[in-house]
Amino acid sequence: MNLSTDAQASARAFIVAHARPLERAWYAYQFESGPAEAVLDTLAAFQNADGGFGHGLEPDVQLPNSSAIGTTVGLQHLRELNADASNLLVKRAIAYLLATYDPSIQTWQIIPDNVDDAPHAPWWAFDDELSQRWRGFLANPRAEIVGYLYEYASLVPQELRDQLGEAAASYIEGDPHLEMHDLLCYIRLVETDTLPETLRKRMMAKLVGAVDEMVARDPAAWAEYGLQPLTVVNSPESPFAGLLADAIPVNLDYLIQQQGGDGAWAPNWSWFGMYDDAWPAAEQAWKGVLTLNALRTLRVFGRFAPTD
Residue 79 has pLDDT above 90, yes or no: yes
Q: Would you state the pLDDT for residue 141?
A: 98
Contact 182, 139 (CB under 8 A): yes
Enumerate the β-bridge partners of residue 3. 304
Residue 262 has pLDDT above 90, yes or no: yes
Cis peptide before 141 (omega within 30 of 0): yes
The mean pLDDT of 62-78, rounded to a whole number, is: 99
Q: What are phi and psi of 3, to 5 degrees?
A: -80, 120
The string of pLDDT tens digits covering residues 204-230 is 999 999 999 999 999 999 999 999 999
Question: pTM for this structure?
Answer: 0.97
Q: Would you state the pLDDT for residue 193?
A: 97
Interatomic CA distance for residues 299 and 277, integer angstroms: 35
Q: Would you state the pLDDT for residue 161?
A: 98
Residue 55 has pLDDT above 80, yes or no: yes
**Distances from the Cα of 299 to the Cαs of 56, 80, 161, 190, 303, in angstroms?**
27, 16, 35, 24, 6
Contact 38, 25 (CB under 8 A): yes
The mean pLDDT of 58-85, rounded to a whole number, is: 99
**Distances from the Cα of 252 to the Cαs of 176, 244, 259, 296, 307, in angstroms?**
31, 12, 12, 12, 19
The mean pLDDT of 256-271, rounded to a whole number, is: 98
The mean pLDDT of 296-302, rounded to a whole number, is: 99
How many H-runs (helices) and E-runs (strands) does the chain carry?
13, 0
Spans of all domains in the chain = 46-214
Q: How does the average pLDDT of the chain come out, rounded?
A: 98
In the chain, what is the straight-line distance between the N-terminal and C-terminal CA atoms, in Å? 17
**Distances from the Cα of 170 to the Cαs of 165, 173, 176, 191, 206, in angstroms?**
9, 5, 10, 18, 11
Residue 7 has pLDDT above 80, yes or no: yes
How does residue 308 score in pLDDT terms, banded at 50, 70 and 90? Answer: low
Interatomic CA distance for residues 118 and 128, integer angstroms: 18
Residue 76 has pLDDT above 70, yes or no: yes
Residue 124 has pLDDT above 90, yes or no: yes
The string of pLDDT tens digits covering residues 169-206 is 999 999 999 999 999 999 999 999 999 999 999 999 99
